[in-house]
Amino acid sequence: MEIYVKTLTGTKYLFDIEPNDLIIKLKDKIQDKIRIPLNSQRLKKYFFDIEPNDLVEKLKDKIQDKIGIPPNSQRLLFAGVILKDENTISYYGMIDGSIVHMILFLRQN
């Protein structure tokens, strides 16, 4: 079952829960989610909900699902550092609202 939770700031999150889940479990899920704005070279801003312990690789997969850019063509930067796929979001100290920049990396044949 899916439910939406809207925070006091207006941010909406989608959660998968089971009918017999306790409210405390949902609270834990809410606290674990952060929303990351992504600025692209196309001058458009996208938003992604992710958990701090998720890998950068998962964020890249979400970017591909939402805007169609394959992970191997994405270079993500936060605080001037290129993000490595094998590190977690929390490794870089990102919190809710931390802005990530995406640069397209096109391979030449």
Residues 22 and 71 in one domain: no
> pTM, whole model, 2 decimals?
0.71
Closest to 85 measured CA to CA, from 67, 61, 107, 109: 61
The pLDDT profile of the chain, 109 residues, written as one tens digit per residue, is 888 877 666 667 787 888 888 887 777 666 667 889 999 877 789 999 998 889 999 999 999 999 999 999 999 999 999 999 999 998 999 988 899 999 998 766 5
Count of Cβ atoms closer than 10 Å to residue 88 Cβ: 16
Domain count, the chain: 2
Residues 27 and 71 in one domain: no
HSE (CB half, 13 Å, CA atoms) of 30?
13
Residues 12 and 51 in one domain: no
Residues 46 and 16 in one domain: no
Question: Residues with Cβ < 8 Å from 85, sequence gap 6 or more?
Answer: 55, 56, 57, 60, 71
Host domain of residue 69: 36-109
Residues 10 and 46 in one domain: no
Residues 54 and 99 in one domain: yes
Residues 28 and 40 in one domain: no
